[in-house]
Amino acid sequence: MLKVTNDQVAGHKAGDGKLGPLIDDLGRFYKPLQSNERGSNELTFYTSFSTNTRIPSPIRRFFPNFYGTQLVEASDGSSLQPHLVLQDFNFGRVNPSIIDIKIGSRTWDPQASEEYIQKGLKKDRETSSLPLGFRLSGFQIYQNRELGFWKPERTFQSLSADEVDLLLRKFVSSNTSANLDLQPDCSFASIVYGGSTGILSQLLELKAWFEDQTIYHFYSCSVLMTYEKEFVSNGKIPCAEIKLIDFAHVYEGQGVIDHNFLGGLCSLIKFISEILISPEECTTEASPKDIQKNQIYFEELIK
Amino acid sequence: MLKVTNDQVAGHKAGDGKLGPLIDDLGRFYKPLQSNERGSNELTFYTSFSTNTRIPSPIRRFFPNFYGTQLVEASDGSSLQPHLVLQDFNFGRVNPSIIDIKIGSRTWDPQASEEYIQKGLKKDRETSSLPLGFRLSGFQIYQNRELGFWKPERTFQSLSADEVDLLLRKFVSSNTSANLDLQPDCSFASIVYGGSTGILSQLLELKAWFEDQTIYHFYSCSVLMTYEKEFVSNGKIPCAEIKLIDFAHVYEGQGVIDHNFLGGLCSLIKFISEILISPEECTTEASPKDIQKNQIYFEELIK
């Protein structure tokens, strides 16, 4: 039996008769295969990547396992439809805190249609993509058993550097559950972001590959950062992980590194590094109230 | 007495009654201070940079020394005009081979005027800036005493990855003097690009700074790569150097790294690294004739 996932933070969501991804009980994630060029492009990528012998083994763990395509009943109840069968990252997790970060100051490929380029460029300029080299596409932060997740419905894509810094701090803090206005204590920063297996270490490993690989260019692709707050609180291994998702706009590198993705990745790395260097020095003047104001503004902007 | 420099490979050139930079006999370079925002912006940058205590000393050597401004007779004979007084990089050099590389897939600042953005974006898309993360703005390659410099008047800005690879190989080759069609032998690659003081090492040092610094964002700024072919041929120290120039579009970093410059720099580093790994394997199918064809095409494009 396939069911709707609760841990999706960005993109089209299933449920209420809408088409979206499904999961099973065996750790697989079923993503509807779009019938347009995006769908065929994403399938081409997964097929190419899964058989490409030039991908270093340690790098593969940052990508979803690919199990082919399968006709399954779509979540909108319409009919049997082809789905990409992928690894479900959140399989086995109980209350994962997740941030979805779309990497790159440019989300469009130089060869795209003029219409797509203009639309993508407009979005890049309106959001933090252009100034910061990435934008937050969605997130959920687990608070506690009573409050559940802090999971804003709308993305916080047009945040300033200070506001992004604040959110990345809240993501690894223990004191923001009851009062969103508190300055984050970053008490999980060293264990989630730091250490030899933490998120920073994984991002640096990915960066080293991007400095060298000229096989693929990843436009409009996201890095997911995930961990279990309760595991950390209980002193268990946090299993903080990064994963890359969304490959509908991946193209051949043609002998050139993906300088657009790499630049954005380095910008994110700098934010995370700064939090580790000064976990208690939240430099921001921005309060969560400012963020909510900003969010409302952004929602009006994109109406 | 000020005179016109012969070693300028890009930008407005002095001579024939035109306004351009001048040099003196003491190693100083006089750049006319534009009377618009660009001029004031460049002066602001030099003033800020030269007094900024957060710039690491080893990084300063990649930038021109700044000696203030001075009223001197402009090269167009018009009158006394304010000039930036800078270090003349080519002082003491006899026949420098030079490449001017404009770094960044985006040459415009997010805060620029709509007109400037549209113009810059068009140029970035028509040239190699968008796909490669940089474009060649000009160069001169010393051939020998008889032939002098290979110094094409028009820039080779819209080159493909293969063509850029070919030119970066020709830049460090000994066999292309007589016949431009020969595949470059890269016989100076290890001494000019490689080694602990070579160009790659300098680029990596610059890269490390760009991964960390959030003080400035450098739009439309160039890296110059320079060396003396005759020094290398005679077994002398090549004094291969990189220098950053053109700061009319430098803005405050506002807490974010310059991911645009950094991405382009990493792309250039990858090209240079590949030449050092396989100096004799010119992977390109492009011949210099193709490049000339491309150049003519580009000149028609920008008419």
Question: Can you tell me the ipTM of this complex?
Answer: 0.90
Neighbours of A104 (CB within 10 A): 29
Query: Which residues of chain A register pLDDT less than 50?
Result: 284-303
Average pLDDT over chain B reads 88
Cα B185 from chain centroid (whole Å): 23
Q: Which residue of A has its CA nearest to B261?
A: A263
- Top residue of B218, B259, B270 to mutate, by most chain A CBs within 10 Å, is B259
Residue for token digits 């020094």?
Answer: B231
Confidence of residue B63 (pLDDT cuts 50, 70, 90): very high
Tell me, rounded to whole angstroms, the distance of Cα A9 from its chain centroid: 8
Predicted pLDDT at B239: 79
Nearest residue in chain B measured CA to CA from A264: B259
Say how many residues make up chain B.
303
Tokens describing residue B234: 């005679």
Q: Which pLDDT score is estimated for A281?
A: 73
- The answer to whether the CB atoms of B260 and A105 lie below 8 A apart is yes
Residues A115-166: tens digit of each pLDDT: 999 999 999 999 999 999 999 998 899 988 888 888 876 657 889 999 999 9
**Cα nearest neighbour of A124 on chain B:** B110
Tell me the CA distances in angstroms from A137 to A112, A116, A134, A295, B250, one per residue in order. Answer: 22, 19, 9, 12, 29
Return d(Cα A240, Cα A238) in angstroms, integer: 5
Task: Note the pLDDT tens digit of each residue in A62-93.
Answer: 999 999 999 999 888 878 999 999 999 989 88
3-state secondary structure of A303: coil
| SS3 per-residue string spanning A178-203 | CCCCCCCCCCCHHHHCCCCCCHHHHH
Alpha helices in chain A, H assignment, sequence order: 37-51, 57-60, 114-126, 129-132, 161-170, 189-192, 199-212, 229-233, 259-277, 288-301
Selected for mutation to probe chain B from A213, A259, A277 (highest B CB count within 10 Å) is: A259
Residues constituting chain A: 303
Q: Residue B264: helix, strand or coil by DSSP? A: helix
Taking an 8 Å cut-off on Cβ atoms, the answer to whether B105 and A262 are in contact is: no
Residue B294 pLDDT more than 50? no
The structure tokens listed for A131 are 């100034």
Q: Which residues contact B262 (CB under 8 A, 6 or more apart)?
A: A262, A263, A266, B207, B210, B211
Q: What angle do CA B80, B85, B90 make, to 5 degrees?
A: 120
Name which of A5, A1, A6, A11 is nearest A245 in CA terms.
Answer: A11
Instruction: Please give the mean pLDDT across all residues of chain A.
Output: 88
CB pair distance less than 8 Å for A259 and B264: yes
Contact between residue A238 and residue A187 where contact means Cβ atoms under 8 Å apart: no
What's the pLDDT score for residue B220? 97
Number of other CB atoms surrounding residue B297 within 10 Å: 10
Q: A123 is written with which tokens?
A: 């979005």
What are B134-180's pLDDT values in tens digits? 999 988 998 888 888 888 766 578 899 999 999 999 999 988 665 66
Coil, strand or helix at B100: strand
Work out whether the CA dihedral A158, A160, A161, A164 comes out positive or negative.
negative
Amino acid at A302: I
pLDDT computed for residue B155 by the predictor: 57
**Interchain pair B121, A121: CB under 8 A:** yes
Least CB–CB distance from B257: residue in A121, A165, A267: A267
Q: What one-letter code names the amino acid at A121?
A: L
Helix, strand or coil, per DSSP, at residue A142: strand
Residue A46 CA to residue B186 CA, distance in Å, equals: 38
Per the listing, tokens 């002398």 go with: B236
The span from the CA of B89 to the CA of A220, in Å, is 41
Instruction: Name the β-bridge partners of A227.
Output: A97
- B180-194: b or e for each residue (b if 16 or more CB lie within 10 Å)? beebbbbbbbebbbb
Q: Are B224 and B100 in contact (CB under 8 A)?
A: yes
